[in-house]
C-alpha cells in the first residue's frame, strides 16, 4: 500500500469525508468495471459499487492498516456482487463452465480471427459467476492467483486449474494456437 | 501467441468491454453521498424571513460558476463541519479496560483543523493563540492543572520551537524524560517532562501523586506551518486524563483543503 493511500485511510478512519471522496475517485472506475464484467448489467454494477463503498465507509474501523487495502476492498466488492447475483435472475443466464469452454473451443475452429473479439465477449458472458469472477480479477484487476484464492476463500489449485482451462480456450478462440 | 501476448489481449478486451460502465461513476457517487451524508445534501426550505440566506447562497453559487469551483475546491465553501461526521464513537483503553466513548466534532476554521472531543469529560475553549481543552467539571484546587492546548506556528522552524519548548520546560522546573519522533497519537515529535522528585509529608522521597507532567507534540511542517499541542496533567492522572487527552488527540487532523 502506498504512503498516500495509507494517509488517506487514516483520514477516513478519522471521519474525513473529503478523503473518502478521494478514495472513491481512486477505486470507482475499476470497481464499476469489475462489477459489470461479472454481472453484465450496468445498473446492477452501479448498485453493487454503491453498496460496497457504503460498507467500506461504515466498516473502515475494522480494516487492519498493516495489511494491503486493495484485497480488503475487493473482498467486499466481490461479496456484494455475489449477493446481487443471488438476488437477481441473472443466474439463469449462466451455463455450466465446462459447456461454455466446449463452445469456445468449437467456435474457435469455425470462426475467422476478425470475429474473435465478439466470440471472446460471448464466451466470457457464458461463463458462470465463479469463473467470470476469477478471470475478471486476474485480467482486469491484476490480482495474483494466490490473492484471488485468498479473496474468494478457495484453494490455489482450484483457481490455477480454472484459469488454465479458461486461458487455453480463450487462446484458441483468439486464433493464437495456429500460429504456434 | 505467447502467454504475455494473450494476457495483454484479454486485459485489453476486458477494459474495452467495460468502458461504458465508467460513465456511471458520478451518478453512483451521488447515491453514496446521499446515503452516507444526508445532512450535507438536505434541500434547504425557502424562507421569506431570511432573504439574506438566499442572497448568500446565490453569491456562493455565482462565485462557484465564475471561478469554476468544483471538487475539491467545493470543500473551501463547505466548511469543515460539513466535511466530517458530527458525532462518532471512539474506543479507549483505560487501565486495561476498553470503553466506548461518544465524541463530538470540534472545528477551527481559522486554523483549519478538526478534533473529536469527549464532551462528557471535557470542554473546548478559545484562547488568543488557538484552543484549549479542559475538564468539563473544574478540578479541586488541590489538583494540578489538566489541559490540552492547540496552537499553530507559522514562519518559524520546528527546531526553533523545540528549543523554545525545552527552555520553557527548564524555566518551569521540569525534567525532560522523553524526546523522540512518534507515530501515535499523531505523527510528530514529542517532548515529555516531569516535575522533580521531592519528599512528601510522610517522608517518602520520589515522584508523588501530584507530580506535574507536561507533554508537547510538534507536528510535521506543511507549507511553513505546524501545530504544537501541549498537554498538562499529573502522575496519578497519567492513566486517566493522560490517556483520554491522547485519545482525543488521535482524532486531530489538519485539513488541507486545496
Same domain, A115 and A138: yes
> Which of A91, A126, A157 is the endpoint of a domain?
A91
**The pLDDT of residue A4:** 79
The H-or-E segment that residue A20 falls in is: helix A17-39
* Mutant choice from B15, B18, B116, B249 vs A, greatest count of A C-beta within 10 A: B18
Angle formed by the axes of helices A129-139 and A17-39, to 10°? 130
Cα separations in angstroms, A176 against A114, A180, B184? 12, 7, 55
Cell of B172: 518551569
Which of A22-36, A76-90, A117-131, B163-177 is predicted with the least confidence, judged by mean pLDDT?
A: A117-131
Same domain, A36 and A71: yes
Write out chain B residues lying below 8 Å of A46, CB-based: 21, 24, 27-28, 31
Q: How many domains does chain A have?
A: 2
Could you tell me which residues come within 8 angstroms of residue A121 by beta carbon, excluding any fewer than 6 positions away?
B13, B17
For residues B147 and B132, the answer to whether their CB atoms sit within 8 Å is: yes
Same domain, A19 and A77: yes
What residues are paired with B198 via a beta bridge? B206
* Mutant choice from B8, B13, B20, B85 vs A, greatest count of A C-beta within 10 A: B13
Same domain, A87 and A102: no
pLDDT tens, position by position, A114-157: 455 556 666 666 667 777 888 888 888 888 888 988 888 888 88
Same domain, A82 and A107: no
Q: How confident is the model at residue A172 (pLDDT cuts 50, 70, 90)?
A: low
The torsion of the CA quartet B226, B154, B130, B88, rounded to 10 degrees, works out to -30
Which residues in A have their CB inside 8 Å of a CB on B? 11, 14-18, 20-22, 24, 28-29, 32-37, 42, 45-46, 49-50, 53-54, 57-58, 117, 120-121, 124, 135-136, 139-140, 142, 167, 170-171, 174-177, 179-180
Distance of alpha carbon A154 from alpha carbon A145, whole angstroms = 10
What residues are paired with B188 via a beta bridge? B182, B219
Checking if the pLDDT of A50 tops 90, the result is yes
Q: Do A32 and B105 touch (CB under 8 A)?
A: no
Q: What is the mean pLDDT of residues A168-176?
A: 60
User: What is the bridge-based pairing of β-strands B188-194 and B113-117?
Assistant: unpaired
Closest partner residue to A15 (CB to CB) among B5, B7, B85 is B85
Of B119, B123, B39, the C-alpha closest to B83 is B39
**pLDDT, one tens digit for every residue, chain B (258 residues):** 566 777 787 788 888 888 999 999 999 999 998 888 775 555 443 333 444 444 444 444 444 444 444 444 344 435 777 778 888 888 888 888 888 889 999 988 888 899 999 999 999 998 888 899 999 998 888 899 999 999 999 888 888 999 999 999 999 999 999 999 888 898 889 999 999 888 888 888 888 999 999 999 999 887 778 999 999 999 999 999 999 999 999 999 888 655
Q: Given its phi and psi angles, is residue A16 left (phi above 0), alpha (psi -120 to 50 degrees) or beta?
A: beta
> Which of A72, A91, A110 is the endpoint of a domain?
A91
Could you tell me which residues come within 8 angstroms of residue A133 by beta carbon, excluding any fewer than 6 positions away?
A38, A78, A81, A152
Cell of A171: 487462446
Residue ranges and CATH numbers for the domains of chain B are 3-80 (no CATH), 84-254 (3.40.1000.10)
Q: What is the mean pLDDT of residues A105-116?
A: 45
Q: Please, where are the H alpha helices in A40-175? A: 42-59, 69-87, 97-110, 116-126, 129-139, 145-152, 156-173
Same domain, A170 and A107: yes
For chain A, state the CA radius of gyration: 18
Cα separations in angstroms, A136 against A120, B3, B73, B85, B186? 13, 17, 35, 35, 39
Per the structure, the complete domain to which residue A156 belongs is given by 94-179
Same domain, A62 and A35: yes
> Which of A58, A91, A124 is the endpoint of a domain?
A91
Same domain, A83 and A63: yes
Could you tell me which residues come within 8 angstroms of residue A147 by beta carbon, excluding any fewer than 6 positions away?
A71, A137
Q: Please, where are the H alpha helices in B193-252? A: 243-250
Of A110, A167, A146, the C-alpha closest to B11 is A167
For residues B235 and B210, the answer to whether their CB atoms sit within 8 Å is: yes
Q: Do B18 and A37 touch (CB under 8 A)?
A: yes
Of A43, A142, A123, A150, the C-alpha closest to B15 is A142
Q: Do B72 and A18 touch (CB under 8 A)?
A: yes
Distance of alpha carbon B66 from alpha carbon B62, whole angstroms = 6
Q: Which CATH number do you get for residue A123?
A: 1.10.10.10
CB-based burial label for B68 (10 Å; 0-12, 13-18, 19+): exposed
**The pLDDT of residue A171:** 65
Same domain, A73 and A103: no
Same domain, A9 and A86: yes
Could you tell me which residues come within 8 angstroms of residue A151 by beta carbon, excluding any fewer than 6 positions away?
A71, A74, A75, A78, A137, A143
Distance of alpha carbon A121 from alpha carbon A173, whole angstroms = 11
Residue B73: count of CB within 10 angstroms of its CB = 14
Q: Please, where are the H alpha helices in chain B? A: 3-18, 25-36, 38-41, 51-66, 74-78, 80-83, 158-171, 243-250
Same domain, A52 and A108: no
pLDDT tens, position by position, B35-49: 887 755 554 433 334
Cell of B198: 521531592
Task: Map grid coordinates 477551527 to a residue.
Answer: B108
Please give the span between the terminal C-alpha atoms of chain B, in angstroms, as a whole number. 48
Largest CA distance in chain A: 58
Distance of alpha carbon B9 from alpha carbon B7, whole angstroms = 5
Amino acid at each position: 500500500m502506498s504512503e498516500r493511500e495509507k494517509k488517506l485511510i487514516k483520514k477516513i478512519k478519522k471521519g474525513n469525508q473529503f478523503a473518502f471522496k478521494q478514495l472513491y475517485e481512486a477505486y470507482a472506475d475499476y470497481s464499476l468495471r469489475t462489477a459489470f464484467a461479472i454481472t453484465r448489467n450496468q445498473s446492477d454494477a452501479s448498485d453493487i459499487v454503491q453498496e460496497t463503498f457504503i460498507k467500506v465507509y461504515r466498516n473502515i474501523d475494522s480494516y487492519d492498516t498493516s495489511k494491503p487495502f486493495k484485497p480488503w476492498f475487493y473482498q467486499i466488492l466481490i461479496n456484494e456482487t455475489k449477493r446481487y447475483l443471488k438476488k437477481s435472475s441473472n443466474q439463469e443466464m449462466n451455463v455450466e463452465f465446462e459447456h461454455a469452454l466446449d463452445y469456445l473451443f468449437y467456435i474457435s475452429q469455425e470462426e475467422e480471427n476478425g470475429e474473435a473479439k465478439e466470440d471472446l465477449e460471448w464466451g466470457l458472458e457464458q461463463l458462470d459467476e465463479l469463473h467470470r469472477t476469477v478471470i475478471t480479477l486476474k485480467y482486469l484487476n491484476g490480482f495474483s492467483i494466490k490473492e484471488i484464492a485468498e479473496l474468494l476463500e478457495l484453494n490455489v489449485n482450484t483457481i490455477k486449474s480454472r484459469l488454465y482451462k479458461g486461458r487455453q480456450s480463450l487462446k484458441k478462440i483468439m486464433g493464437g494456437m495456429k500460429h504456434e | 501467441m505467447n502467454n504475455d501476448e494473450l494476457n495483454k489481449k484479454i486485459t485489453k478486451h476486458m477494459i474495452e468491454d467495460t468502458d461504458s460502465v465508467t460513465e456511471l461513476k458520478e451518478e453512483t457517487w451521488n447515491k453514496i453521498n446521499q446515503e452516507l451524508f444526508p445532512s450535507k445534501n438536505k434541500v434547504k426550505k425557502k424562507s421569506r424571513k431570511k432573504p439574506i440566506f438566499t442572497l448568500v447562497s446565490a453569491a456562493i453559487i455565482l462565485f462557484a460558476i465564475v471561478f469554476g469551483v468544483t471538487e475539491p475546491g467545493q470543500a473551501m465553501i463547505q466548511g469543515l463541519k460539513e466535511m466530517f461526521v458530527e458525532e462518532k464513537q471512539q474506543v479507549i483503553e483505560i487501565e486495561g479496560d476498553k470503553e466506548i466513548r461518544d465524541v463530538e466534532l470540534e472545528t477551527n476554521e481559522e486554523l483549519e483543523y478538526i478534533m473529536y472531543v469527549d464532551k462528557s469529560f471535557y470542554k473546548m475553549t478559545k484562547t488568543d493563540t488557538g484552543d484549549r481543552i479542559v475538564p468539563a467539571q473544574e478540578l479541586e484546587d488541590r489538583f494540578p492543572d489538566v489541559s490540552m492546548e492547540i496552537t499553530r506556528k507559522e514562519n518559524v522552524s520546528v527546531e526553533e520551537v523545540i528549543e523554545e519548548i525545552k527552555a520553557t520546560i527548564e524555566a518551569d522546573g521540569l525534567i525532560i524524560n522523553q524526546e523522540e519522533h512518534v507515530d501515535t497519537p499523531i505523527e510528530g515529535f514529542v517532548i515529555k517532562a516531569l516535575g522533580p522528585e521531592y519528599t512528601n509529608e510522610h517522608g517518602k522521597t520520589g515522584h508523588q501523586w501530584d507530580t506535574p507532567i507536561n507533554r508537547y507534540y510538534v507536528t510535521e511542517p506543511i507549507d511553513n506551518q505546524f501545530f504544537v499541542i501541549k498537554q498538562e496533567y499529573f502522575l496519578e492522572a497519567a492513566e486517566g486524563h493522560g490517556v483520554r487527552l491522547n485519545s482525543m488527540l488521535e482524532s486531530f487532523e489538519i485539513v488541507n483543503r486545496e
